[in-house]
Each structure stands twice: as C-alpha cells, then as structure tokens.
A and B are shown apart, each in its own frame.
Chain A
Amino acid sequence: GEDVEQSLFLSVREGDSSVINCTYTDSSSTYLYWYKQEPGAGLQLLTYIFSNMDMKQDQRLTVLLNKKDKHLSLRIADTQTGDSAIYFCAGLTGRRALTFGSGTRLQVQP
C-alpha cells in the first residue's frame, strides 16, 4: 500500500467544519505537514505538527495526531469557499524529503 493515504474527495457546505484525514506508515516521521494547492498554484504550507505533539491549533485550523494509530487529521472550522483546494498531508522522513499522500480535493458548496 501507499506510505501516506488520504481520501480523494470531500464536499462540505460553507460555514460547516471540514475534517480531512490521513494515515501514514512511517513511524519515524518527525514532522507531519498539511499543504494546500489551489488551482494553478504551487503547494502552500498550511501547518505542521511535531511527532511528539497530539494537537495543534492555528486560527481556523486544528491538527490532530494519533501516533499510535498513525493517523493525522486537519479540521477547518467555518469552511469558506476560498478553502476549496487540494489538501496534501506529508511526513518528513530521515532523508529530509517529504513523503506525500495523494491529496484530498475539498469542495465547498455555497
């Protein structure tokens, strides 16, 4: 299977919360990241969490890490149409390169 897995698609209504999930296999990942890609743009770092933390909050974003289950999630509160994008989770491995998931396309309905 893939090293990092994500569901492909999520649709929510504007104002609702979005939760994007990710599972990974490499327990040696020291940092875990969430990137956002808008159409025609590069990857933008949204937030990250160190592997010894279990939660990090940054304004509308909340990252939860369950290291035992190797599960990472990104919650976006009060989702806006501008949040529509592809979201990638990624882990930093010992070789200092990122291992990405396949991305979750978030569609926000007005």
Chain B
Amino acid sequence: EAGVTQFPSHSVIEKGQTVTLRCDPISGHDNLYWYRRVMGKEIKFLLHFVKESKQDESGMPNNRFLAERTGGTYSTLKVQPAELEDSGVYFCASSHLGQENTEAFFGQGTRLTVV
C-alpha cells in the first residue's frame, strides 16, 4: 500500500511568486492534515480536512495560504504570494476517520525555500 506522498520534495521560489504543494493521502483516509516546520522550530498545525471539508483551519498563518481538497482525495496548499518567512518544511498526514487515537501517517515533506 502506498504511503502519504508529497510533491515536490523541494521547491525554491522567489519572493512574490506562487507555489502549490500537493499531498496524496493514503487511499481511504478521510482525515488529511497539513503541518509546517519553520527553521528547525516546532512542527505547527496548519489545517485539517475531513473528506473535502475544512474541519479546522485555525493554524493557517494568513490569507496568502489556500488549501483545497476537491473530491476528498488529494489536497493542495497554495502560497500566493510567497514571502521569505514561508520557508520551511511542509508535512502532510492522513488517517482514518473514527477513533480518537487513529494513527496519522506522514509524508516525507516538501522543503520550501523562498529567496
């Protein structure tokens, strides 16, 4: 069974440009999460989808970030326009909907560098 896959693995863009990150969760996982780790700090929650609906987007830093999950399958996270402080590693995770302690499986992350 394929794990959570993220694309691209690395992205280097200039300040002001747009970047779209993609996450393919494990098939059948209704929960999908985005997290971000900035400059070796803690990994911070960005948002949570249940199927195609945004369950919680309280961690989104500002309105330059837009996440979608059309059809409840893969998800995209767009940053427009990108700023220097957006640099970091963006992780996606997915899990089954159900019990509280359902294991979340993480992708390898997308390292975003804004220059």
A residues apposed to B, CB below 8 Å: 2-4, 30-31, 35, 40-45, 48, 50, 88, 90, 92, 95-103
Contact = CB atoms under 8 A, between A and B. Distances in A.
A98 B48 contact: no
A99 B45 contact: yes
Contacts, number: 62
Interface size class of B (residues with CB under 8 A): 20 to 34
Contact of B56 (A31, A45, A97, A103): A97
A96 B106 CA distance: 15
A42 B101 contact: no
Contacts of A92: 100-101
Interface string B38-81: 00111111001000000110110000000000000000000000
Interface of B: 3-4, 31, 33, 35, 37, 40-45, 48, 55-56, 58-59, 91, 93, 100-101, 103-109
A88 B35 CA distance: 13
A100 B44 contact: yes
A77 to B, nearest CB: 24
Given A31-B100, A100-B42, A42 B59 contact: no
